[in-house]
Amino acid sequence: MKLLLIPVLLAASLSVHAQGPAQPTPQQMQQAMLQQAQMMSVMFDLRKSRLGFDETVNAIKTGAEKRGWKVGPVQDMQAQMREAGAKDAKRMKVISLCPAGANEKVAKAGGGKTPPLPCRATVFDGKDGKLYVMRMNLTNLSKTLPGDLAKAMAEVGTEEEALYKDILE
């Protein structure tokens, strides 16, 4: 009897695996999307600029340079998107900048196990016709980290907030 039960159980097992994993329900998909949006709002700071497009880019670069930050190239993403065939690409520039010594401070606090900071700001025209700046929200991210790493990340976040204080709403 036991020997006959083995092939039946094996066949049932194979048919379950052949069907593949269960598909999520629309409610589960909606919940997952909501959770992802909430995580994004914690990770990123998206605010309207008080200035015009070029003035915003220049204010960020100039402010960072005055603070002794490392400022890298500004990428014209609109031009790159147009080169790739996007005819209706809106203005978008990505500015590479990082507070002086920030990566070293965070790496030391993290015991050398932390990746480099994502030191960038994106200035872009929104679909609503308003101008936005998006960047990583290091102050919020610091709240998710332990001990000295949280403190170091919060300090860098405070430096960033000072830069953007007069630029963003």
Give the C-alpha distances (Å, rounded to integers) separating 119 from 106, 136, 137.
13, 8, 10
Single out the residue of 76, 79, 73, 116 nearest to residue 97, CA to CA: 73
Single out the residue of 169, 126, 162, 143 nearest to residue 42, CA to CA: 143
The predicted structure's pLDDT at residue 123: 98
Give this prediction's pTM: 0.76
Are 137 and 45 in contact by the 8 Å Cβ rule? The answer is yes
Which is higher by pLDDT, 22 or 152? Answer: 152
Task: Classify the C-alpha dihedral 73-77-82-87 as positive or negative.
Answer: negative
The predicted structure's pLDDT at residue 3: 47
Single out the residue of 153, 55, 60 nearest to residue 108, CA to CA: 153
Which is higher by pLDDT, 116 or 84? Answer: 84
The predicted structure's pLDDT at residue 2: 46
Render pLDDT for 10-55 as a digit per residue (tens, 0 to 9): 455 555 455 556 788 888 888 888 787 777 777 899 999 999 999 9
The predicted structure's pLDDT at residue 109: 86
